[in-house]
A and B are shown apart, each in its own frame.
Chain A
Amino acid sequence: MDFLDKAYSYNFEGIRNEVYQFRFISTGLQEITKIVSISPINKNLNWYSVGFGNLEKNENTISVNDLAEINNNDYDEVLATVFMCILHFFISNPDYTILFFGNTLHKHRLYKQKISSNLIILNQYLEISGGITEEQVTIIEKSQTITRKGKQHQRIIREKDLTALSNSIEIKRIEKYNAAKTADYQFVLFKLKKEL
């Protein structure tokens, strides 16, 4: 099966204050409602950022959690859905750019690995570039409790200290995505191919 054919059925929820919102249900080991958001970073260059995470309801609060480390055994399906949402977005915004990055070391590596292994399929529709920043992103280790097969386990997640980026960040280089050099990329850019 083609990578993109694995996508879950997503629902385009609309645009709210310039944020494109999509929803889907991950049906791996358990059912998890997930959100994909696409929102502007810079309007001069038409750069948008894609985010995705679990829609969580705790008593009176609702939030999107993109730090959950639940392995729902469906990474391919989830990422394929995110790419379908990106393609959906490009249909009405063909000249825009999407910035993509993972906020933990594990997720960032995993996403790049999935992009690399599906590069031929994605390159049919997308121009893909890798970006390198001047600043090295600091990694913070955090303890997290996860539940697997009904049992609670402690694990350490290596999260990126993204607060540092809010103070200062400069892009050093953007290059055509090279699967052999992904360790260098702090972010990935997607653009719809010109001929499409």
Chain B
Amino acid sequence: MEATQLRDLLEKQIEKSTNFWAGRPKMTIQELEAVEKFAKQKSKLFEKVFDSPEKIDKISKMQNSAL
């Protein structure tokens, strides 16, 4: 039920987006690079969370028990 709903939701969005973005300029290399730089800085903030195998194991267990 939810799987169908999700597929419909995304298909509807993709159709809407395809029409909206048709003919609009693509992002430039400089813009794509700026986004990449921003994303990597953002990810780096939480890098230390995973700096040992013990921490990774502990986090994995905590996450699984929360699901």
User: CB-defined interface of B38-66 with A at 8 Å, one 1/0 digit per residue?
Assistant: 11101111111110000110111011011
B38 A40 Cβ-Cβ under 8 A: no
Question: A residues near B, CB below 8 A?
Answer: 4, 7, 9-11, 13-14, 16-17, 19, 21, 23, 35, 37-42, 44-45, 47-49, 51, 53, 55, 62-64, 66, 84, 87-88, 91, 97, 99, 124-125, 127, 129, 162, 165-171, 173-176, 187, 189, 191, 193, 195-196
CB atoms of A166 and B45 under 8 A apart: yes
- List 24 A-B residue pairs with CB atoms under 8 Å apart, sorted by A's residue number: A4-B9, A7-B13, A9-B19, A13-B26, A13-B27, A19-B35, A21-B35, A38-B39, A40-B43, A53-B38, A63-B37, A63-B38, A66-B38, A84-B9, A87-B10, A88-B10, A125-B5, A165-B48, A167-B48, A168-B48, A169-B49, A174-B65, A189-B63, A196-B6
Q: Which residue of A lies closest to B53 (CB)?
A: A44
Contact partner of B59 (CB less than 8 A), chosen from A35, A171, A193, is A171
Which partner residue on chain B sits nearest A48 by CB separation? B43
Please pick, from A62, A169, A187, A189, the residue contacting B31 in the complex, using a CB distance under 8 A: A62
Instruction: Decide: A64 near B66, CB < 8 A? Known: A9-B20, A125-B2, A165-B48.
Output: no
* Min C-beta distance of A193 to chain B, whole Å: 7
Evaluate contact between B35 and A171: CB separation under 8 angstroms.
Answer: no
Total B residues in contact with A, Cβ cutoff 8 Å: 46
By a CB distance below 8 angstroms, the chain B residues around A124 are 2, 5-6
Secondary structure class of chain B's binding surface, majority of residues = helix
On whether the beta carbons of B27 and A129 are closer than 8 Å, the reply is no
Closest 10 CB pairs of A and B: A37-B39, A9-B20, A64-B38, A39-B39, A51-B42, A42-B50, A9-B17, A174-B62, A62-B34, A129-B66
Q: Contact at A37–B38, with CB atoms within 8 Å? A: yes
In contact, B17 and A51 (Cβ under 8 angstroms):
no
A88 cross-chain contacts in B, Cβ below 8 A: 10, 13
Flag if B46 contacts A193 (CB, 8 Å). no
Contact of B32 among A21, A127, A165 (CB under 8 A): A21
Give which listed residue, A9, A35, A173, contacts B35 with CB less than 8 A: A35
Cβ–Cβ contact B2 & A165, under 8 A: no
Residues of A within 8 Å of B28, CB to CB, are 62
Contact A91 B46 (CB under 8 A): no
Residue pair A16, B34 in contact (C-beta under 8 Å): no
Question: For the complex, what is the distance from the CA of A163 to the CA of B34, rounded to whole Å?
Answer: 20
